[in-house]
C-alpha cells in the first residue's frame, strides 16, 4: 500500500482549454466529449480533498504554450500562456502547498523540472488523472514508468476525446506499464479508502 506522504496526484491539463466550449481543444472534441470531461471534475474534487488531508502532494501539469513551442507544428494555438484558456477550472483551483509545473508538450517530464521536484520531496508513487487518457496522460505515464515511479491510474478521474480512446488508453497502461493491475487501476473512492486504511494502520502502530 502506497504511503500518501510519498505520493503525488498528477492533474494533467484540467484547464478551460480542454473542458469549456469556446476553446480549440474542447470544441474539437464536441459536446459529448465536453460532458465526459466535466464529469471527472467531481471525483477529482474528492480525490484532491482527500489527498491534501492525507499529506499527498497535488501537482498540476498543464499546457502553457508560447508561439514557439514544438506543439505548434502539429496543433493550432491552444492553452496559450497568460490566457484564461490555460487556467485551471475553478472547481479544481490550486491551493497553498500544491505544486504547479506548467508544460509545453504532452509530458511534463520532457519540458520541466517536475522529476527533480518530485524526487526532492521524496515522492515515489504517482496517481495519474486528467486529460487525455490516450495522449498527455499516456506520455506522462510512459516517462514516469521509465524513470522508476510507481503508478496508479484513477479511472474515473481520466477521460479522452472518445470513450473508446479512454478505454484504449487504460488498456495500453495495463499492457505496457502495470505490474500489479488489481492495485493500479482504482476509482477515486478506492484510492481514498486505501489512504484511510493506511492512516488507521499507522495510528494503530
Place of cell 474528492: 46
Give the largest CA-CA distance in the chain.
56
Residue 128: predicted pLDDT? 98
- Residue 39 scores a pLDDT above 70: yes
pLDDT at residue 197, rounded to an integer: 86
- pLDDT tier for residue 98 given thresholds of 50, 70 and 90: very high
pLDDT at 2 over 90: no
| Close Cβ partners of 9 (under 8 Å, ≥ 6 residues apart) | 47, 48, 51, 56, 57, 58, 59, 126, 127, 129, 154
Q: Is the pLDDT of residue 201 over 90?
A: no
- pLDDT mean over 102-110: 97
Report which of 136, 142, 147, 150 is spatially closest to residue 175, judged by C-alpha positions.
Answer: 142
Residue bearing the bigger pLDDT, 32 or 196: 32
Domain count, the chain: 1
What φ, ψ does residue 194 adopt, rounded to 5°? Answer: -65, -40
Average pLDDT, stretch 3-28?
A: 97
The CATH number of residue 45's host domain is 3.40.50.850
Identify the domain containing residue 80 by its residue range.
Answer: 4-204
Q: Write out the three cell numbers for 168.
A: 484504449
205: pLDDT confidence band, cut at 50, 70 and 90? low
CA 140 – CA 37 distance, rounded (Å)? 18
Specify whether the CB–CB gap between 166 and 134 falls below 8 A: yes
Average pLDDT over residues 83-112: 98
**% of the chain at pLDDT higher than 90:** 94
- Average pLDDT of the chain is 96
pLDDT tens figures, 158-172: 999 999 999 999 999
Decide: pTM greater than 0.95. Answer: yes
Question: Is pLDDT of 80 > 70?
Answer: yes
DSSP code for 139 = H
User: For residue 198, is pLDDT > 80?
Assistant: no
Q: What is the mean pLDDT of residues 130-149?
A: 98
Amino acid at each position: 500500500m502506497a504511503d500518501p506522504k510519498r505520493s503525488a496526484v498528477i492533474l494533467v491539463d484540467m484547464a478551460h482549454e480542454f473542458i469549456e466550449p469556446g476553446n480549440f481543444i474542447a470544441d474539437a472534441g464536441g459536446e459529448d466529449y465536453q460532458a465526459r470531461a466535466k464529469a471527472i471534475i467531481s471525483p477529482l474534487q474528492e480525490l484532491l480533498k482527500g489527498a491534501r488531508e492525507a499529506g499527498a502532494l497535488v501537482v498540476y501539469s498543464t499546457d502553457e504554450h508560447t508561439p514557439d513551442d514544438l506543439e505548434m507544428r502539429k496543433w493550432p494555438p491552444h492553452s496559450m500562456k497568460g490566457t484564461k484558456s490555460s487556467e485551471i477550472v475553478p472547481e479544481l483551483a490550486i491551493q497553498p502547498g500544491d505544486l504547479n509545473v506548467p508544460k509545453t508538450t504532452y509530458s511534463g517530464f520532457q519540458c520541466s523540472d517536475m522529476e527533480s521536484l518530485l524526487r526532492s520531496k521524496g515522492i515515489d508513487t504517482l496517481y495519474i488523472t486528467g486529460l487525455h487518457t490516450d495522449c498527455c496522460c499516456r506520455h506522462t505515464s510512459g516517462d514516469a514508468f521509465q524513470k522508476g515511479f510507481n503508478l496508479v491510474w484513477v479511472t474515473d478521474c481520466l477521460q479522452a476525446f472518445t470513450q473508446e480512446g479512454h478505454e484504449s488508453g487504460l488498456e495500453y497502461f495495463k499492457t505496457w506499464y502495470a505490474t500489479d493491475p488489481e492495485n493500479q487501476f482504482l476509482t477515486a473512492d478506492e484510492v481514498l479508502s486505501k489512504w484511510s486504511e493506511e492512516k488507521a494502520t499507522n495510528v494503530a502502530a
